[in-house]
Amino acid sequence: MFKKILIANRGEIAVRVIRACREMDIASVAVYSDVDRASSHVRRADEAYPIGAAASSESYLNIEKILDVGKRSYADAIHPGYGFLSENAQFAQACADAGVKFIGPTAAAMQAMGSKTKARQAMELAGVPFVPGTSKGLESLGQAEEVAGRIGYPIMLKAAAGGGGKGMRLVHAREDLKAALEAARSEAERAFGDGEVYVEKAIVNPRHIEMQVLADEHGSTVYLGERECSLQRRHQKVLEEAPSPVVDAEMRRRMGEVAVRVARAAGYTNAGTVEFLVDQQKNFYFLEMNTRLQVEHPVTEQVTGLDLVQLQIRIAAGEKLPFAQDDINIRGHAIECRVYAEDPGNNYMPSPGRIATLLEPAGPGIRIDSGVYEGWTVPMDYDPLLAKLIGYGESREQAIGRLSRALSEYFVGGIKTNLGLFRRILADAEFRAAKFDTGFLDRMTQHTEPSPMSTHAEEVAVIAAGMFAALGGASMETPGAVNGAPNAPGKPASNWKTAGRNEALRSG
Amino acid sequence: MIYDIATGEKKYRLELDRLIGGWSCRLNGRNVEADAVLVRPGVLSLRVADRSYEVKGERLAGGWKIWFGEESFDLEVRDPRSLRGRVRSGDESGARKLRAPMPGKVVRILVAEGSEVEAGAGIMVVEAMKMQNEVKSPKKGNIRKILVSQDAAVNAGDVLAIVE
């Protein structure tokens, strides 16, 4: 087993990996940029090294600097988390060349999957179901028109090197194709430095369902069940659950077997995710493979009882998978909410800043994977994900009940978050009936915010505002003892008391 | 203490008096049994007529934002004896300030001082957390002043430019 692991990431996922290291008695090494000195992951790691300026290219994306820390700290493995360098084949190769184990697939497997068109050719040979379309990049407008005519509109144009919705265009009719193709090409060129675009039949109101796979380095590959990821905004996932309400045991087995075939065809090792589009008749089509640990991996952990990060580490260390496909059981239901620093009042634009107040829920069936704490300033330079709130229950209904309860306890003050959005989703009748697709959230957020302000609630708010105003500055400062009766009127803590307390803290 | 508190439409008068070990509270002249314990900065445990609420508060300009349960309220809080808060209002009619919609970095300035712009024209681009937000002109007019430079860090609400 490894002695020391470097985590080439930040935020909640770095904390997640550091926790697994500590549980396995492995030393952890954090790296951090100039604005992340006070970050959670630095506080929790055994060692921490600065790697440069806030801009990702100067720090978390800088292969040379990260490998240099690997060398200086004598780390024997590197966990890339998700995002940043996690799907960078060049980085995986550089690790191998430097003699540090990359916790993930090989560079070759990543390359095979990194380009959507290359992946597609390999998969077609393995008999994987695809959305009808081209498996090669489009050469000309004429070719695009020919293919689109053959498979029928609406069609979707997609960047071969793409992800996150960039370089994607939905085209309803032939006369829109030319402009859409040019736009998709230039967007792909700008975002990925590669203007290759291919065409697919657009599946109307699809579901987005993905299958977790795990492969060791001894030829064993298993699937760990699916995650329902249809709740998205701007093509970014917002809420995920496992299992999917529309997938039964038979469908799970068929999707799982396809996912295992995909992984095998690429010579895949470690944890990976095979994404599928599912149409209204429950036909599923291969979309892409993500060659990393996913943000939403906790829902799979909850329903399988497995620790995916620990398994990733064991696989990378050369261990065999400690179970076979038949040993894996799905039990209960888990739902994850991605808590983002976003302003719902400003079209969900980012809202970085200082977290003035943080009240986190706990209790039965609740898990929080967080990268933040009260008093910390969320930097403006990175992804707005603050934490993931995961609810688990024996049924979907119980999981929803627990999550709703947890959301009533959750509060982030000082910056704006999307917590209110989850309250609305979980209360939505269609969501509760599991009737949704990838267009659900955009439709739901277009309705005006409901304001069921009862007179009573308003009166309580008015009294509260008055109390805050009456307490003045004291209401925003650290209170003294609060275990007694209501705050005694206008009685400031005496200087003697304050001095005594400070003294006690210092000697403590 | 007396506060005039307004929600969107409704106005309330709240009279609070601190007593030993509690509060006396009158809302629009009606006695209400209420007490509050500050459990941590910005968080009150509030009892109103035996019902218990955990209330979170954040100071706004001229009032408080209050959260409890599933709801949040923006409340204007005014001390009627104080003169502050009565003045102001009524901006310069011609000139309009362009404010940063979010904290971030000015990545591009799209117009020069003195240029004529249409209503809705992009003036500059502010970026945070990989998202770019184009700040648009609120009116047709002339860019009187640009108050930030490229790559400057700005806070939400900072004045970026003035259009008149």
In this predicted structure, what is the pLDDT of residue A421? 93
Q: How far is CA A314 from CA A165, A195, A301, in A?
A: 33, 38, 16
Contact A300, A213 (CB under 8 A): no
Q: Report the C-alpha gap between A296 and A278 in whole angstroms.
A: 19
pLDDT tens digits, residue range A218-269?
Answer: 999 999 999 999 999 888 899 999 999 999 999 999 999 999 999 998 899 9
CA-based nearest residue to A337, from A439, A396, A235, A419 = A419
Residue pointed to by tokens 């640990």: A293
In this predicted structure, what is the pLDDT of residue A506? 52
Q: In the predicted model, is pLDDT for residue B27 greater than 50? A: yes
In this predicted structure, what is the pLDDT of residue A484? 45
Contact call for B129 and A341, based on CB within 8 A: yes
> B159 vs A395, which has greater pLDDT?
A395
Q: Within an 8 Å CB–CB cutoff, is residue B27 touching chain A?
A: yes
Q: How many CB atoms lie within 10 A of CB A215?
A: 23
Find, in chain A, the residue whose alpha carbon is nearest to that of B62: A469
In this predicted structure, what is the pLDDT of residue A187? 86
pLDDT tens digits, residue range A100-126?
Answer: 999 999 999 998 886 666 767 778 888
Catalytic residue among A16, A207, A252, A292: A292
What's the whole-model pTM score?
0.82
For the ranges A1-10, A57-66, A470-479, the lowest mean pLDDT is seen at A470-479
pLDDT average, residue stretch A423-446: 91
Coil, strand or helix at B115: coil
- E strands of A307-347, at which residues? 333-340, 342-343
In this predicted structure, what is the pLDDT of residue A452? 56
Confidence at A454, pLDDT banded by 50, 70, 90: confident
In this predicted structure, what is the pLDDT of residue A116? 63
Burial of B122 (0-12, 13-18, 19+ CB in 10 A): middle
Contact A85, A261 (CB under 8 A): no
Q: Mention every residue, 6+ apart, whose C-beta is less than 8 A from residue A162.
A: A116, A168, A188, A191, A192
- Residues linked to residue B163 through DSSP beta bridges, in sequence order: B96, B143
CA-based nearest residue to A264, from A224, A225, A221 = A221
> A26 vs B37, which has greater pLDDT?
A26
pLDDT tens digits, residue range A53-101?
Answer: 999 999 999 999 999 999 999 999 999 999 999 999 999 999 999 999 9
Q: Report the C-alpha gap between A340 and B67 in whole angstroms.
A: 18
Q: What is the 3-state secondary structure (H, E, C) of B18-32?
A: EECCEEEEEECCEEE
Q: Within an 8 Å CB–CB cutoff, is residue B128 touching chain A?
A: yes
> A198 vs A448, which has greater pLDDT?
A198
CA-based nearest residue to A467, from B6, B57, B80, B147 = B57
pLDDT average, residue stretch B43-56: 92
Q: In the predicted model, is pLDDT for residue A495 greater than 90? A: no
ipTM rounded to 2 decimals? 0.71
Paired tokens of A235: 């093509």
> B85 vs B94, which has greater pLDDT?
B94
Q: Apex CA B106: angle with CA A338 and CA B59, to 5°?
A: 60
The beta-carbon neighbor of A466 closest among B5, B7, B103 is B5
Confidence at A487, pLDDT banded by 50, 70, 90: very low
Q: In the predicted model, is pLDDT for residue A478 greater than 90? A: no
In this predicted structure, what is the pLDDT of residue B29? 94
Q: Mention every residue, 6+ apart, whose C-beta is less than 8 A from residue B158.
A: B99, B100, B148
* Residue A288 φ then ψ, to 5°: -170, 170
Q: In the predicted model, is pLDDT for residue A406 greater than 50? A: yes
pLDDT tens digits, residue range A456-465?
Answer: 889 999 999 9
Coil, strand or helix at A171: strand
> A135 vs B78, which has greater pLDDT?
B78
Q: Within an 8 Å CB–CB cutoff, is residue B1 touching chain A?
A: yes
Q: Within an 8 Å CB–CB cutoff, is residue A474 touching chain B?
A: yes
pLDDT average, residue stretch A291-298: 97
Q: Within an 8 Å CB–CB cutoff, is residue A345 touching chain B?
A: no
Paired tokens of B85: 């808060």
In this predicted structure, what is the pLDDT of residue A474? 63
In this predicted structure, what is the pLDDT of residue A494? 46
- Residues linked to residue A211 through DSSP beta bridges, in sequence order: A226, A274
The beta-carbon neighbor of A353 closest among B7, B63, B103 is B103
Q: In the predicted model, is pLDDT for residue A482 greater than 50? A: no
In this predicted structure, what is the pLDDT of residue A499? 53
Q: Are strands B104-109 and B96-99 parallel, antiparallel or unpaired?
A: unpaired
pLDDT tens digits, residue range A146-182?
Answer: 999 998 899 999 888 776 667 788 999 999 999 999 9
Coil, strand or helix at A19: helix
Contact call for A465 and B64, based on CB within 8 A: yes
Find, in chain B, the residue whose alpha carbon is nearest to that of A477: B41
A483-495 in b/e form (b: 16+ CB < 10 A) is eeebbeeeeeeee
Contact A283, A254 (CB under 8 A): no
Burial of A243 (0-12, 13-18, 19+ CB in 10 A): buried
Paired tokens of A34: 């100039």
**What percent of chain A lies above the pLDDT cut of 90?**
70
Burial of B97 (0-12, 13-18, 19+ CB in 10 A): middle
One-letter amino acid for residue A207 of the chain = R
B98-112 in b/e form (b: 16+ CB < 10 A) is bebbbbbbbeebebe
Please say if A16 is a catalytic residue. Answer: no
**What percent of chain A lies above the pLDDT cut of 70?**
90
Q: Report the C-alpha gap between B156 and B128 in whole angstroms.
A: 11
